[in-house]
């Protein structure tokens, strides 16, 4: 049995190292890039293995046969490298069956030509066996397709190296080590291929590319074991950062240095009704809400600024922050503008203050009345006046408790937002008002059959009930009207009562209470909170010759609401 040549032995060492690395890569599936790295390494192993067959073959036809078989591994290497680099660095959106098919057209055509016996001498114009001091080689005169596939291989290799080069300067040491090892593993075969094509190798027919696969395999093994190549890949980090940007509950805009919109997250698109496909690339002044007010904020020194902005949920206060995006040369490349909705926080603080006053003042007052007259009943059980006061105080406390419960349910996050037809809401509010005073004269004007948020039911019930309960006319008169204008519905509730104390308006306008300046109850607060919750508007006006007109405007629900009632 003829002993293997030293070159064949060296190639078999490269095959062993490469096979070990390929097995390790294959076992790491489905980690990002594991499959494609296994394809790359399998291509190297294939090429080196059948080169051994070529070297050990004794005749020209046998050497030519094994030379053609090697093309399967030759073309698999650049395809595996490109898609491994993309998947490994987080650009897996480009790794699709379509893109793999497109990239594989030229490699597949090369294999087909080789399998067909190279008709037309596209891969090799001539084959000659050369006897050299280091072995017997098949010296090939390349054909036109050979140079095409060689250039294509270098192109795929260069494209795949771009995302890896970016990791060389990464702040994470493992990623720097991984990318360095991968680039070494790829650069070594490239250097051998370039030396062969350029004629720099003095031995005729000797292609050193498969010989340096040993260096490549060692580099890949180092990356897999020492730097945890596939178990600690940067792909999830890139995807996670993008996911965080998209999943933020705050609207975020990225504006370039030229004032053009670079990006925005899903929350920004939903909150402000922006079409992301058409908005990117437009002037930020035309897309970013109140850009004139936020563009002059200092990214370093200015504190967040609260700005009222109208979105899909109506007008709400947003706290705006601006941060600069700086590159490695300390140059500002973009600005990130974040809008934080503080309406919920401010509303919660307001509700806590009002409910604190209710329990501290109103409940305490009624409790003291009950306690005092209960003591009086102890001495005179027949005191009808004391019983009447206790009964009224208990009734007011029950009413206060019910309204407090209503206020809590109004903002219960577990309750789903529903839509109801406006006539149904008006009928319900009028029925509640009539239950307070059956003799009340309540008129209903035109009410359009539009769908509105169910929260409006709480608002109108309180307005109509207050209009009857606090009306000293005999009998009380109340009228409800509604009209639609564009995407808004306007509901008015008028009465002929004594009117609302201006101090109540003042407290609602200021949005806060003090020990000396506070409302007389919780009804108007519930109305205000409900309207604010819907992103609507509320206004009060005096009615001639007597009474008050309250106007509430809220957005119409234009979605299909088959279960919204009549």
Residues whose CB falls within 8 Å of the CB of residue 278, separated by 6 or more in sequence, listed in order: none
Residues 20 and 150 in one domain: yes
Domain that residue 164 falls in: 6-238
Q: Mark which of 341, 356, 371 sits at the end of a domain.
A: 341
Helical segments of 122-234, H only: 144-167, 173-197, 213-225
Q: Mark which of 238, 268, 303 sits at the end of a domain.
A: 238
The average confidence (pLDDT) of the chain is 78
CA gap 68, 47 in Å, rounded: 10
Phi-psi region of 535 (alpha: psi -120 to 50; beta: other; left: phi over 0): left
On the question of pLDDT at 348 being above 90, the answer is: no
Residues whose CB falls within 8 Å of the CB of residue 564, separated by 6 or more in sequence, listed in order: 418, 419, 420, 421, 424, 451
Residues 301 and 319 in one domain: yes
Query: Domain for residue 74, yes or no?
Result: yes
Q: What is the pLDDT of residue 546?
A: 87
- Percent of the chain clearing pLDDT 90 (strictly above): 10
On the question of pLDDT at 411 being above 60, the answer is: no
On the question of pLDDT at 195 being above 80, the answer is: no
Q: What is the pTM of this model?
A: 0.51
2 burial via Cβ count (<10 Å: 0-12, 13-18, 19+): exposed
CA gap 450, 558 in Å, rounded: 8
CB 478 within 8 A of CB 467: yes
CATH of the domain at 296: 3.30.450.20
Q: What is the pLDDT of residue 414?
A: 45
Query: Domain for residue 288, yes or no?
Result: yes
Instruction: Quickly list DSSP for 356-372.
Output: HHIIIIIHHHHHHHHHH
Residues 458 and 327 in one domain: no
Query: Domain for residue 531, yes or no?
Result: yes
Condensed to tens digits (0 to 9), the pLDDT of residues 294-333 reads 766 655 545 555 666 655 555 667 788 888 887 667 778 8
Residues 508 and 525 in one domain: yes
Tokens representing 34 are 């594991």
CB 462 within 8 A of CB 404: no
CB 129 within 8 A of CB 137: yes
Q: What is the pLDDT of residue 303?
A: 57
CA gap 264, 267 in Å, rounded: 8
CATH of the domain at 147: 1.20.1070.10
Query: Domain for residue 312, yes or no?
Result: yes
Residues 80 and 226 in one domain: yes
Tokens representing 209 are 């590319």
Query: Domain for residue 243, yes or no?
Result: no
**SS3 state at 411:** coil
Q: Mark which of 371, 393, 415 sits at the end of a domain.
A: 415
Task: For residue 4, give the nearest of 63, 79, 54 by alpha carbon.
Answer: 54
Out of 54-58, 162-166, 175-179, pick the least confident: 175-179
Tokens representing 476 are 């009380």
Q: What is the pLDDT of residue 209?
A: 74
Query: Domain for residue 377, yes or no?
Result: yes
Query: Domain for residue 1, yes or no?
Result: no
CATH of the domain at 487: 3.30.565.10
- Percent helix, strand and coil across the chain, each rounded to 5? 55, 15, 30
CB 350 within 8 A of CB 342: no
CA gap 269, 254 in Å, rounded: 13
Condensed to tens digits (0 to 9), the pLDDT of residues 439-494 reads 899 999 988 999 888 888 888 888 888 888 888 888 899 999 999 988 889 999 99
Q: What is the pLDDT of residue 345?
A: 61
With cut-offs at 50, 70 and 90, classify the pLDDT of residue 192.
confident
Q: What is the pLDDT of residue 517?
A: 41
Residues 176 and 296 in one domain: no
User: What value does the mean pLDDT take over residues 426-430?
Assistant: 90
- Quote the number of domains for the chain: 4
């Amino acid at each position: 049995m003829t002993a293997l040549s030293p070159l064949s032995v060296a190639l078999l060492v490269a095959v062993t190292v490469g096979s070990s690395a390929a097995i390790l890569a294959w076992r790491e599936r489905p980690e990002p890039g594991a499959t494609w790295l296994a394809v790359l390494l399998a291509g190297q192993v294939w090429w080196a293995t059948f080169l051994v067959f070529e070297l050990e073959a004794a005749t020209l036809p046998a050497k030519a046969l094994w030379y053609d078989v090697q093309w399967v591994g030759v073309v698999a290497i650049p395809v595996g490298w490109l898609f491994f680099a993309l998947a490994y660095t987080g650009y897996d959106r480009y790794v699709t069956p379509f893109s793999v098919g497109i990239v594989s057209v030229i490699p597949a055509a090369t294999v087909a030509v080789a399998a067909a016996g190279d008709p037309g001498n596209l891969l090799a114009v001539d084959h000659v066996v050369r006897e050299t001091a280091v072995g017997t080689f098949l010296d090939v005169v390349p054909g036109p397709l050979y140079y095409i596939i060689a250039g294509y291989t270098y192109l795929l290799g260069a494209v795949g190296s771009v995302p890896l080069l970016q990791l060389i300067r990464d702040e994470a040491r493992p990623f720097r080590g991984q990318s360095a090892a991968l680039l070494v593993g790829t650069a070594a075969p490239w250097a051998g291929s370039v030396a062969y094509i350029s004629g720099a190798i003095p031995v005729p027919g000797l292609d050193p590319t498969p010989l340096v696969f040993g260096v490549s395999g060692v580099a890949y093994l180092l990356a897999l074991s020492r730097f945890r190549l596939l178990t600690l890949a940067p792909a999830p980090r890139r995807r996670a950062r993008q996911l965080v940007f998209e999943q933020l509950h705050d609207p975020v805009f990225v504006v370039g240095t030229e004032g053009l919109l670079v990006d925005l997250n899903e929350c920004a698109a939903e909150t402000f009704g922006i079409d992301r496909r058409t908005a990117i690339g437009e002037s930020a002044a035309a897309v970013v809400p109140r850009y004139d007010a936020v563009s002059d904020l200092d990214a370093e020194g200015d504190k967040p600024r609260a700005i009222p902005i109208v979105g899909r949920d109506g007008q709400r206060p947003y706290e705006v922050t601006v941060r600069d995006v700086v590159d490695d040369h300390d140059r500002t490349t973009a600005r990130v503008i974040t809008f934080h909705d503080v309406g919920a926080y401010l509303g919660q603080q307001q509700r806590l203050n009002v409910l604190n006053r209710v329990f501290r003042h109103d409940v305490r007052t009624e409790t003291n009345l009950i306690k005092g007259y209960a003591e009086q009943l102890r001495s005179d059980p027949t005191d009808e006046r004391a019983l009447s006061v206790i009964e009224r105080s208990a009734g007011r406390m029950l009413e206060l408790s019910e309204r407090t419960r209503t206020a809590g349910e109004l903002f219960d996050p577990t309750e789903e937002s529903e839509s109801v037809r406006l006539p149904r809401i008006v009928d319900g509010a009028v029925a509640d008002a009539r239950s307070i005073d059956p003799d009340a004269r309540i008129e209903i004007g035109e009410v359009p059959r539009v769908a509105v948020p169910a929260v409006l039911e709480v608002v109108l019930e309180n307005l109509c009930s207050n209009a009857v309960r606090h009306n000293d006319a005999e009998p009380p008169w109340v009228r409800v009207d509604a009209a639609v204008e564009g995407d808004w519905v306007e509901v008015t509730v008028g009465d002929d009562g004594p009117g609302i104390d201006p101090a109540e308006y003042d407290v609602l306008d200021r949005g806060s209470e003090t020990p000396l300046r506070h409302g007389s109850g919780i009804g108007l607060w519930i109305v205000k909170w409900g309207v604010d919750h819907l992103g609507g508007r509320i206004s009060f006006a005096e009615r001639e010759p007597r009474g008050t007109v309250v106007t509430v405007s809220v957005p119409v629900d234009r979605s299909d609401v088959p279960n919204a009632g009549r």
